Amino acid sequence: MSNIWHTKEKISVKEVGHNFFQFVFSSQEDKDRVRSGKTWSFDNQYLILRDWSENLEENSDSFNFVELWVQLLNVPFHWLSIATGRKIGNKFLKLTDILISESGSSKGRHIKILAEVNLNKPLIRGITIKLGDESCSVDFRYENLQGFCFYCCKIGHAERGCQQRKDDI
């Protein structure tokens, strides 16, 4: 992890349960930088970092949430605004940031939001919202998804390992 995080000082890793690790940073500066950084992943799975405490358990609900960048597509040009991003972002658990693309992509200009999602629930593919007198169907494109199942729309496994798919067959 030192190579991935580019830490200046040494870190140690202790396995304290199944897929449950304690990272001990020698430098508070390294720890702060890693914690405030992007959403980390390892081996196609999210690495969810939480501050250690005595009562932190591996089955804690706090490990069920991750922040992802979501592109909001098909928003009419005249509605590309922070206010529109906030209105749509309120459909998520928590909204951290809103960006308006300055240049077009293959999908044109769009709004990006940094939003918290629950890993135990299917991802929302889009919504229909009312903007002024117009209704608008907005599609969501999640950036850098890790271990996403296209069958049940949940994060954490691939379609071939989907229990819901096995139950439906």
Per the structure, the complete domain to which residue 32 belongs is given by 2-53
Q: Is residue 157 part of a domain?
A: no
- Average pLDDT on 78-99 reads 93
Query: Which residues are CB-neighbours of 90 under 8 A, at least 6 positions away?
Result: none
Least confident range from 27-36, 100-109, 126-135: namely 100-109
Whether the predicted pLDDT of 131 surpasses 90: no
Beta-strand ranges (E) seen in 28-161 are 40-42, 45-47, 65-73, 94-100, 111-118, 126-131, 134-142
Q: Is residue 87 part of a domain?
A: yes
Residues 132 and 89 in one domain: yes
- Average pLDDT on 144-167 reads 88
The whole-number pLDDT of residue 85 equals 95
Residues 35 and 72 in one domain: no
Query: Which residues are CB-neighbours of 6 under 8 A, at least 6 positions away?
Result: none
8 Å CB contact between 62 and 118: no
Residues 116 and 85 in one domain: yes
Query: Which residues are CB-neighbours of 62 under 8 A, at least 6 positions away?
Result: 48, 50, 56
Q: Is residue 164 part of a domain?
A: no
Residues 80 and 14 in one domain: no
Residues 85 and 47 in one domain: no
Tally of structural domains, the chain: 2
Residues 117 and 49 in one domain: no
Q: Is residue 159 part of a domain?
A: no
Q: Largest alpha-carbon pair distance within the chain?
A: 57
Instruction: Tell me the HSE value of 153 on the side-chain side, using a 13 A CA sphere.
Output: 11
Considering only CA atoms, which of 20, 22, 24 is closest in space to residue 10? 24
Q: Is residue 147 part of a domain?
A: no
Q: Is residue 19 part of a domain?
A: yes
Least confident range from 17-31, 103-117, 130-144: namely 103-117
Residues 68 and 23 in one domain: no
Residues 88 and 121 in one domain: yes
8 Å CB contact between 153 and 137: no
- Average pLDDT on 106-112 reads 76
Where would I find the H helices in the chain? 2-5, 28-35, 82-89, 163-168
Residues 47 and 75 in one domain: no
CA distances from 118 to 6, 41, 70, 76 (A): 28, 16, 14, 28
Residues 17 and 78 in one domain: no
- Residue 22 φ then ψ, to 5°: -115, 125
Higher pLDDT, 69 or 39: 69
